[in-house]
Amino acid sequence: MKNDIILRTENIRKEFSGFVALKDINLEVSKGEFKAIIGPNGSGKTTLINILSGALKCTEGRVYLRGEDITGLSQHLIARKGMVRTDQYTQTFPNLTVYENLWIAAQSKSKLNLFKDYKSDRDIQKRVDEVLKLISLDHKPELIVSRCSYGEQRRVQIGMALLTDPDVLLMDEPTSGISPKEREDIINLLSRLSGEKTLVVVEHNVDVVLRLADEIVVLNEGKIIAEGEPDEVINMPVIKEIYVGGLAKWGV
């Protein structure tokens, strides 16, 4: 699995006015892999997603996407290169319908690639319909996004990201802040995406991680303290120590 690396970081370090939020982060994500990132509150998970997506610049280190050095590029450029972030920070158009939001996302992709990958309106429509089904909103395409539940809005955000045909999807706590029923909907969606897309997902819900992830990376105080397959990692003494030390610390 390790021979087809799509995303790689080399010694990422991030300081905020002298405070070291991340250090020595060496990450390797294979094509099609579901990589989960877990760790206590404040361990640097969101900072890492911010650096990968281009929302933040790292202090030191490099980020490579398909072998290309993308360190320090803007979020917009990184998205164009195929790595897209989809979480509560993703913008939707709240006054437009679910369908319109998806259509706009699909069309913007088509425009970006005008000469390479031109799509007719009919192609776009077909793709939007597929994604509507995938995010289980095909029964309410005409709903105005601001009237959608949080869980539905999150699925619209994921749908919009999917319509840009990304190679890598980055998600920061996709199941947080929504009802248990809606959380299940997101988990089902993640499960459908796994295997098809490369996913890097920050998730503190251990159940989700155990069910879906191919590999887990555990951050603690800005460093990777463990990584490997879920069963392997969850049984490591260092993890048990932290978990037993207080589940609340993990936001579980």
Ligand X SMILES: Nc1ncnc2c1ncn2[C@@H]1O[C@H](COP(=O)(O)OP(=O)(O)O)[C@@H](O)[C@H]1O
Q: For binding to ligand X (CB under 6 A), which residues are involved?
A: 16, 19, 21, 39, 41-47
CA-wise closest residue to 96 among 86, 104, 85: 104
56 phi-psi bin (left φ>0, alpha ψ -120 to 50, beta other)? beta
Identify what 115 binds: Mg ion, ligand X, none; CB under 5 to 8 Å per kind. Answer: none
Smaller CB distance to ligand X: residue 39 or 151?
39
Token output for 91: 């913008």
Smaller CB distance to ligand X: residue 14 or 109?
14
CA-wise closest residue to 87 among 103, 72, 99, 75: 75
Q: Cβ 17 to Mg ion, closest distance in Å?
A: 19
* Element holding 189 (H helix, E strand): helix 180-193
Q: Cβ 41 to ligand X, closest distance in Å?
A: 4
Q: Which residues pair with 36 in a beta bridge?
A: 201, 216
Q: Cβ 158 to ligand X, closest distance in Å?
A: 19
Instruction: Output phi, psi for 58, to 5 deg.
Output: -80, 160
Q: How far apart are CA 203 and CA 124, in angstroms?
A: 32
43 in Cβ contact with 219 (< 8 Å): yes
Stretch that binds Mg ion, among 46-54, 121-129, 180-188, 243-251 (CB under 5 A): 46-54
Identify what 183 binds: Mg ion, ligand X, none; CB under 5 to 8 Å per kind. Answer: none
Contact between 43 and Mg ion (CB under 5 A)? no
92 in Cβ contact with 157 (< 8 Å): yes
Contact between 46 and Mg ion (CB under 5 A)? yes
Smaller CB distance to ligand X: residue 109 or 154?
154
Smaller CB distance to ligand X: residue 140 or 223?
223
Q: How far apart are CA 185 and CA 251, in angstroms?
A: 21
Of all residues in this chain, which one has the CB nearest to Mg ion in the complex?
46
Smaller CB distance to ligand X: residue 51 or 105?
51
Identify what 92 binds: Mg ion, ligand X, none; CB under 5 to 8 Å per kind. Answer: none
Q: Which residues are near Mg ion by CB under 5 A?
A: 45-46
